[in-house]
Amino acid sequence: MFGIISPSNLRRLGILGMNRRNIGFIGAYNKRKNYRIADNKLETKSAALSRSIPVPELYGTIERQFQVKTITEQLEARDSFVIKPSQGSGGKGILVITGRNGDLFVKSSGVEIDSREIKRHTSNILAGLYSLGGRNDSAMIEALIAFDPVLKDYSFEGVPDIRVIVFRGVPVMAMIRCATRESDGKANLHQGAVGIGIDIGTGQIVCAVQRNRIITQHPDTGVVFGELKIPHWQQILDLAASCANMTGLDYLGADVVIDRIRGPMLLELNARPGLAIQVANQAGLRHRLATADKIANLTNDQDEKIKLAREQFSQTRVGRGQLALEIV
């Protein structure tokens, strides 16, 4: 395990840093006019539905403060739901309700809250407390994902999601983020969730990290990560890669969830995906991005791009080194 690593070793391992990511990939390949589809979850959902890409059901939206007082009426027939900011980032501002106890709402952590707390949270969303740049926002009310039972013991209360980095339509790296008690049931690495690298070629697990430390089992459920193989893997790669054409973004992160009934669904997009995925995969992004660029120059066919990516980025070809260091 490395605490400090030299710049030369970082280059050798192909680690992509924040400056190179921002200038060499986000700035160079993503046009500003295309950011809005990724930055606004309502626009993401609309664009996805227009291309028959499955997304969680939208129950409703709250766009003005005067509408907040009616939210309990909108939720009267709902036992479970998610309230989130449409322009939120970093997993902030997401309220997950998994059930009811009389007039009280039960959060994913088991804590019970009343309707006043629901209204207060929604009002904070509208005021821009959780949005990019603190802008006024709207609140989305979505169906709660009934995630695939294969993943049940790999996450504590919250729904695990799969982040796939896509460059020029080529999936280059992936991880699954699993909630913990520490992360309050949210799949957010900065709050203590577990990041688990996924072999692009097979959908099998590469390595698991929590707060940049390598671990072998879930800290709350005790399940061993090495036994997991992601279901519907080809379909997940197809869905993620299709988001490049949908948005016009050549460098993006697609977040996918697996519903028990509907299968893989697009949860949201990120035009500025983080770099901790490299730690979870014990591999750097730079070399893979260079290979993906060559693949994209060879073919425009999405199926062929995915086929070549699975061949080139399979764990048996890539190899691994230790990367237990902090990459933000």
- Tell me the per-residue pLDDT of 244-303, one tens digit each, with 9 for 90 and over: 999 999 999 999 999 999 999 999 999 999 999 999 999 999 999 999 999 999 999 999
With contact defined as beta carbons under 8 Å apart, do 63 and 57 qualify? no
Token pair listed for 248: 């016009």
The pTM of the full predicted model, rounded to 2 decimals, is 0.90
Which letter does DSSP use for residue 24 in this model? I
Report pLDDT digits (tens) over 109-155: 789 999 999 999 999 999 999 987 788 999 999 999 988 888 988 98
With contact defined as beta carbons under 8 Å apart, do 17 and 7 qualify? no
Radius of gyration over alpha carbons of the chain, in Å? 19
- pLDDT at residue number 304: 98
Which letter does DSSP use for residue 147 in this model? B
**H or E element, residue 259:** strand 251-259
Per-residue pLDDT at 317 exceeds 50: no
Give the C-alpha separation, 255 to 142, whole Å: 16
User: Helices 233-247 and 41-50 meet at what angle, rounded to 10?
Assistant: 110
With contact defined as beta carbons under 8 Å apart, do 295 and 256 qualify? no
With contact defined as beta carbons under 8 Å apart, do 60 and 75 qualify? no
Token pair listed for 153: 């013991």
